[in-house]
Chain A
Amino acid sequence: MRLKVLAAALSVSCLIGAPLVQAETLRWARSGDSLTLDPHAQNEGPTHALAHQLYEPLLQRDMAGQIIPGLATSWRALDDNPNVWRFQLRAGVKFHGGEDFTADDVVFSVKRAKLETSDMKGLLNSVVDVRKVDDLTVDIETAGANPLLINNLTNLFMMDQGWTESNGSAVPQDFANGQTTYAAANANGTGAYQLVSRTPDERTVLKANPNYWGVGQFPLEVSEIIYTPIQSAATRVAALLSGEVDFVQDIPVQDLGRVDATSDLKVVTAAQNRVIFFGMNQGKADLDSDNVQGKNPFADVRVRQAMNMAINRDAIKQVVMRGQSDPTGVIMPPFVNGWTPALNEIPAGDMAKAKSLMADAGYGDGFQVTLNCPNDRYINDEAICQATVGMLGQIGIKVNLDAKPKAQHFPLIQNKTTEFYMLGWGVPTFDSHYIFNFLVHTSEGDRGPWNNTGYSNADVDQMIVSLESETDLAARDATIGKIWNQVQQDVVYLPVHNQVLNWSMKSDINFDVQPEDQPHFKFLSFN
């Protein structure tokens, strides 16, 4: 009896005690995990999404997509030398481990991100040098004036030089070849949250950084974040409906109605800065995965044109995406500088014309090829691939579908072992150059790292490089237009659609959809 009384007293005291502690835990779920904690090893959305909580760039995009100061408080191109950008750093910032954030860390981080194994190097092509001016001032010099340099720095995270070097991680992790490093499993940033524990693909726990510089400037109402990747769409929805998680970043389109109709949940919808498309290796002399000997069917532009016509983007929108997509004819979301309605026009689905193009190219009887597809990265990625298999089948191309988790899919593209693949591309710089430099430029050196198509056009390459130092913005836009016309004419990629984001959360959460699908939880507040 006394025990019971004691237990009752204890539970009452717990009930009273609970509201006194202002601890708000946010349980966050999405289909896939961050690929690595090394902030320079993978230029990939979900990887950056987690990194943005732990690490910070010099400047960043807020929840509306606008550039705001991060670790730099101001920046300007020098008047006497337009090739140099000067950054004034924030004073008094400390890393999670207690180290001071200084200009040395910036110099170290930018140089690290330009190393061979860094996946961020493509954003820093124009950077020739980075110099410390004093403890809180850094100069970044570009080859020729680059008016858009700051757009390339929004995902360039700053690491502590001492911590990174003493833990043997001075060189970014070689992700595509399966390397593991200390910095890939641990984090020491300046971000609003610090790492408590992490089991990749299972659970990552973060807690609020008590010494964060932005205390008072941001809501910072979340004190703990529990991030759980849930690959199965049905399980993800079930977790949200049952209250097991508070925020799901990628609710399956078929369940939007159900979630929105649930009284304590809401869905927030916005267009995403991300385009989904297929790439095919048109540069190889002979494909390994096809049944055509001695030549590469993708090398013939007529085959690519036929494929582009065979993909029924409206059907994919209506059935697979349930209206939640924006079909497109160009691998560029409307947010991006260079986008025009004419480029966006989707190719007319003319099956007879497509078949005659196939016959003209000498593939009237079709051919066979393997399509590699992720199954936990994009909205309904595997279902889109399946639908495409059927559509290409109608013009005689027999496609074997190989769908895998993104951790196995992306290395196929980066190691150039896939010959036909799905990829999605977000444009953090909001400028066409980013697309060209990663996906269109000949894949060599630090350019074209994600161009697995084998497409190589010297004129186009030269125009892409010229964009980096063109200060006359009208002339620059004209060059962008010329490059796009060439890309469209050569059917380098098969665009499908731009994604529409549907973030689902508890009704008491105030959180805007970020067009890059990057939740910055420091902005989240509760009603």
Chain B
Amino acid sequence: MSRWDSDFVYAFKRSPVACVSAGVVCLLVLAAVFAPWIAPLNPFDMAALNLMNGFTPPLAPNAFTGETFLLGTDDQGRDLFSAILYGLRVSLFVGFAAVALAMFLGVFLGLLAGYRGGWVDTLIMRMADVQVTFPSILIAMLIYGVAQGLIAPDNRGDLAIGILILSIGLSEWVQFARTVRGTTLVEKEKEYVQAARLMGLNPLAVMVRHILPNVTTPVLVIATITLALAIIAEATLSFLGVGAPPTEPSLGTLIRIGQDFLFSGEWWILLFPALTLLLLALSVNLLGDWLRDTLNPRLK
């Protein structure tokens, strides 16, 4: 185990791409976590906003109030730097939670399909096949629409983030299930698994204690890649106006708002959130690619 560790660390140190992208991801995650301490204002507190600060360019004083903002303000007078930090928080939270949901679901269904075989396998994997033929953003929108229909309008604001996590999580489980099923099919025929079954362990224990440890590495790799997808999916849904509400903006919501002011020359409202999203998605993706190449060349 320790040899694997040092190999991994060695490979990491040798790869500038991995170092830089891991650094950027860490920085952005820390910025999101400590947003309340870093951000000069709380952009979710609508009462603290001064509308007259609206459309202030970066580092230039506002014409009415004389206040200056690092990255300027948006149409509601919200400090963009603070809004981006808090938006990053929403985006990352939705991303991590959706990946956790997809991972849990995918690993469980994959184990079940591989271990049980027969009609259970057929049912789960055909479901996966069907789902994979649709773009995942379409599935996410479908689930989002159904969830919106089921929930009373008054609760929608509070549950918007939950629905977002659910719809992205449910649209990304297939990759996990397929990988886990493949490994399970190989592992379940091995002697140690047969031995465990002969000892009379129940199927759940065999699956979780004996087979699952074999799939942790590929699952972690897929989780990282899926994280980038989930962040983009959240931004896309919010950009389309069905994700995070405008009073609690994620990066996608900020980009949607900024898009309206592109022609009128207020470029900063769009540019800074978009750059942040680009940086985040790119570094998570690069990190995922590197992990895949290093840990599990078979997935290539």
State the A residues within 8 Å of B (CB). Answer: 232-234, 237-238, 241, 252, 254-255, 257-258, 288-289, 312, 315-316, 318-320, 370, 375, 382-383, 386-387, 389-391, 393-394, 396, 398-403
Give A167 to B154 CA distance when docked, in angstroms. Answer: 39
Give A370 to B158 CA distance when docked, in angstroms. Answer: 11
Assess whether B260 is in contact with A233, with CB atoms less than 8 Å apart.
yes
Q: A255-B264, A318-B64, A383-B76 are in contact. Are A403 and B51 (CB under 8 A)?
A: no
Residues B174-233 near A (CB distance < 8 A) = none
Give A238 to B259 CA distance when docked, in angstroms. Answer: 11
The reply to whether the CB of B46 lies closer than 8 angstroms to some CB of chain A is yes
Chain B residue contacts of A252, Cβ below 8 A: 260, 264
Chain A residue contacts of B153, Cβ below 8 A: 402
Chain B residue contacts of A238, Cβ below 8 A: 263
Chain A residue contacts of B27, Cβ below 8 A: none
Minimum distance in angstroms from A159 CB to a CB of chain B: 35
Give A232 to B260 CA distance when docked, in angstroms. Answer: 8
Assess whether A254 is in contact with B264, with CB atoms less than 8 Å apart.
yes
Q: A254-B260, A390-B47, A393-B46 are in contact. Are A319 and B77 (CB under 8 A)?
A: yes
Chain A residue contacts of B49, Cβ below 8 A: 390, 393
Assess whether B263 is in contact with A237, with CB atoms less than 8 Å apart.
yes
Chain B residue contacts of A386, Cβ below 8 A: 46, 76, 246-247
Assess whether A387 is in contact with B246, with CB atoms less than 8 Å apart.
no
Interface of A (DSSP majority class): helix
Assess whether A234 is in contact with B262, with CB atoms less than 8 Å apart.
yes
State the B residues within 8 Å of A (CB). Answer: 45-49, 51-52, 54-55, 64, 75-77, 153-154, 156-157, 241, 245-247, 259-266
* Beyond A319-B54, A319-B55, A393-B45, 7 extra complex contacts between A and B, CB < 8 Å: A254-B266, A312-B51, A383-B76, A386-B76, A386-B247, A400-B247, A402-B157
Nearest B residue to A387 via CB reads B51
Assess whether A289 is in contact with B154, with CB atoms less than 8 Å apart.
yes
Chain A residue contacts of B245, Cβ below 8 A: 401
Q: A254-B266, A389-B247, A401-B245 are in contact. Are A319 and B154 (CB under 8 A)?
A: no
Q: Which of B46, B54, B265 contacts A320 (CB 8 A)?
A: B54
Give A401 to B259 CA distance when docked, in angstroms. Answer: 21
Q: Which of B54, B157, B263 contacts A258 (CB 8 A)?
A: B263
Give A387 to B73 CA distance when docked, in angstroms. Answer: 14
Give A404 to B235 CA distance when docked, in angstroms. Answer: 19
Chain A residue contacts of B77, Cβ below 8 A: 319, 390
Assess whether B260 is in contact with A390, with CB atoms less than 8 Å apart.
no
Give A391 to B47 CA distance when docked, in angstroms. Answer: 6
Chain B residue contacts of A382, Cβ below 8 A: 246
Assess whether B157 is in contact with A319, with CB atoms less than 8 Å apart.
no
Nearest A residue to B158 via CB reads A400
Minimum distance in angstroms from B72 CB to a CB of chain A: 14
> 6 tightest A-B contacts by CB?
A393-B47, A254-B264, A319-B54, A390-B46, A390-B49, A315-B51
